[in-house]
Amino acid sequence: MESQLAEVRAALSQSGESTFEGAKAKAELAVQELNNVTLHIAVTGVTGAGKSSFVNALRRVQDGEEGAAPTGVEETTMEPTMYRHPTMPNVNIWDLPGIGTKNFRAREYIKMVNFNTYDFFLILTSTRLHENDIMLAKEIEKNKKKFYFIRTKVDQDVDAEKRKGKTGEQTLSLLRHALEEKLKDLGSVRIFLMSSWELHKFDFNELIRVLEKDLPDNKRNALIQSLPVYSMEILDKKYNTFKKVTWVSAFASGAVGAIPVPGVSAAFDLPMILAFLTKCYFSFGLDENSLKKLSERVNKPIFAKVHESKFIKAISTRSLALLAVELSSYLALEGLEAALRFIPFLGIVTGAVMSFTTTLLALSKGLDELYKAAKEVVEMAGLD
Ligand SMILES: Nc1nc2c(ncn2[C@@H]2O[C@H](COP(=O)(O)OP(=O)(O)OP(=O)(O)O)[C@@H](O)[C@H]2O)c(=O)[nH]1
Ligand SMILES: [Mg+2]
């Protein structure tokens, strides 16, 4: 009980408001902003640089799969194509046309691809950096947006150089220095070495760290929540972004439309809790489709166990009834009303406060359960 109350106290102090009503009004605005945030990522670079393959890797769809961006030596993307994230509809990844190698005009190109649409640009380059990549970067900078250079297909370089006796580290270090040298006119440009075949290796995490710093709060959260779970670090980041919004979600929910749960004295907003946890469930890669793909990728047929958990089942089948049972058995609320009186901030405990408290505790518990399951998956898959 003490730790639960500490959670409620922390939520109240995070709101920075002195009344429950004030905190609620602020939270409602924050939730509206969260729901309206969109992120548009532009993926550009010369023809064949690996743009479409990278878009697919970010969206966790395999090349050739339904809804995947067409890839291959013959497949050229001729106009900007938007690919919605499969589970986060507010995150859009744009596969831009190849910038060509001849007669390139950066100013015309950025006009043609609707420059203003995008939050930032990823400029992909594979075997050779082209003058046009640099011209494009300069034009993006002139128009006050951010760009990041990504050297793709480094798996190929590592393999090829291994045959000549170089270690992976040596190859990557040489690649990095050669590119830094070529890009030195642009100032301090960061280069990220990557492979769409093995997104979890090389500089993917580093790119995310840099983007996290550069993006405003809501967009950063959207980005993190949309990422494939390729490491424990990414899973932890996801958990933290969800954890941060539990209190706003609980404040904003209120008792309106709440469903009384047998055995729990305060009604709480079960549909909102289910919607929130469903988002976490997909973001953590716990859905059957993601688990199946991971299982194939790491060649370990062990993830079906995750769906044996009653809690996960409640979410995967979107069953309010099952979720209510799971949560009410956790929320042993008998002592809660009395305990709440000890929080000086609250004064008199009202139905709304009770509803807020139970909703917050349910969200936290649900999030922790999903995180625990996802952590086990990451460990079993050997991704940590
Ligand atoms: N080994 C390796 N091959 C890759 C990687 N990314 C892309 N490729 C291959 O490179 C070729 C071109 O990839 P695409 O993703 O179609 O390139 P693109 O930039 O979209 O090309 P355009 O649409 O023609 O401009 C394909 O044969 C891909 O399979 C990678 O990370 N590693
Ligand atoms: Mg393409």
For position 173, what pLDDT does the model report?
Answer: 95
Residue 69 domain boundaries = 38-224
Tell whether 201 and 62 lie within a shared domain. yes
CB of 98 closer than 6 A to ligand 1? yes
Tell whether 342 and 311 lie within a shared domain. yes
Tell whether 184 and 310 lie within a shared domain. no
CA 49 / ligand 1 centre spacing (Å): 6
pLDDT-based confidence at residue 256 (cuts at 50, 70, 90): very low
Tell whether 275 and 356 lie within a shared domain. yes
Tell whether 204 and 262 lie within a shared domain. no
Of 15-19, 124-128, 348-352, the least confident: 348-352
Tell whether 126 and 237 lie within a shared domain. no
Helical residues (DSSP H) of the chain, grouped into ranges = 2-15, 20-36, 51-58, 106-112, 131-142, 154-162, 168-182, 204-214, 217-226, 232-253, 270-283, 288-298, 310-316, 320-330, 336-340, 351-381
CB of 101 closer than 6 A to ligand 1? no
Pocket probe for ligand 1: among 47, 52, 53, the residue whose CB has the most ligand atoms within 8 Å is: 53
DSSP letter at 259 equals B
CA 57 / ligand 2 centre spacing (Å): 13
Q: Which residues, 6 or more positions from 215, have their beta carbon under 8 angstroms from its beta carbon?
A: 39, 119, 120, 223
Q: How far apart are CA 119 and CA 121, in angstroms?
A: 7
Ligand 1 atom nearest the C-alpha of 63 is 29
CB of 125 closer than 6 A to ligand 1? no
CATH of the domain at 166: 3.40.50.300
Boundary-marking domain end, from 224, 247, 275: 224
CB of 198 closer than 6 A to ligand 1? no
CA 38 / ligand 1 centre spacing (Å): 27
CA 314 / ligand 1 centre spacing (Å): 40
Ligand 1 atom 6: residue of nearest CA = 50
CB of 197 closer than 6 A to ligand 1? yes
Q: Does pLDDT of 2 surpass 60?
A: no
Ligand 1 atom nearest the C-alpha of 49 is 19
Tell whether 185 and 79 lie within a shared domain. yes
* Distance (Å) of CA 317 to CA 65, 255, 259, 320, 372: 25, 24, 18, 9, 19
> For 46-56, what is the mean pLDDT?
91
CA 80 / ligand 2 centre spacing (Å): 10
The count of C-alpha atoms lying within 13 angstroms of the C-alpha of 242, restricted to the half-sphere facing its C-beta, is 28
CA 91 / ligand 2 centre spacing (Å): 19
pLDDT-based confidence at residue 257 (cuts at 50, 70, 90): very low
Tell whether 152 and 281 lie within a shared domain. no
Of 77-86, 91-100, 132-141, the least confident: 77-86
Number of domains observed in the structure of the chain: 2
Tell whether 237 and 299 lie within a shared domain. yes
Q: Among 23, 8, 10, 21, which residue's Cα sits nearest to residue 361?
A: 8
Q: How far apart are CA 55 and CA 17, in angstroms?
A: 42
- N-terminal to C-terminal alpha carbon distance within the chain: 32
Q: Among 12, 21, 17, 5, which residue's Cα sits nearest to residue 350?
A: 21
User: What phi, psi does 83 have (nearest 5°)?
Assistant: -115, 115
Q: Does pLDDT of 346 surpass 70?
A: no
Tell whether 31 and 43 lie within a shared domain. no
For position 72, what pLDDT does the model report?
Answer: 75
Tell whether 233 and 201 lie within a shared domain. no
For 187-201, how does the pLDDT look when each residue is reduced to its tens digit (9 = 90+)? Answer: 888 899 999 998 888
Boundary-marking domain end, from 198, 224, 250: 224
Boundary-marking domain end, from 224, 257, 277: 224
Tell whether 254 and 280 lie within a shared domain. yes
For position 368, what pLDDT does the model report?
Answer: 93
Q: How far apart are CA 15 and CA 25, in angstroms?
A: 10
Buried b (16+ CB within 10 A) or exposed e, 272-310: bbbebbbebbbbbbbbeebbebbbeeeeeeebeebeebe
Q: Is 149 in contact with 125 (CB distance < 8 Å)?
A: yes
pLDDT-based confidence at residue 343 (cuts at 50, 70, 90): low
User: Which residues, chain by chain, have CB under 5 Å from ion ligand 2?
Assistant: 51-52, 77
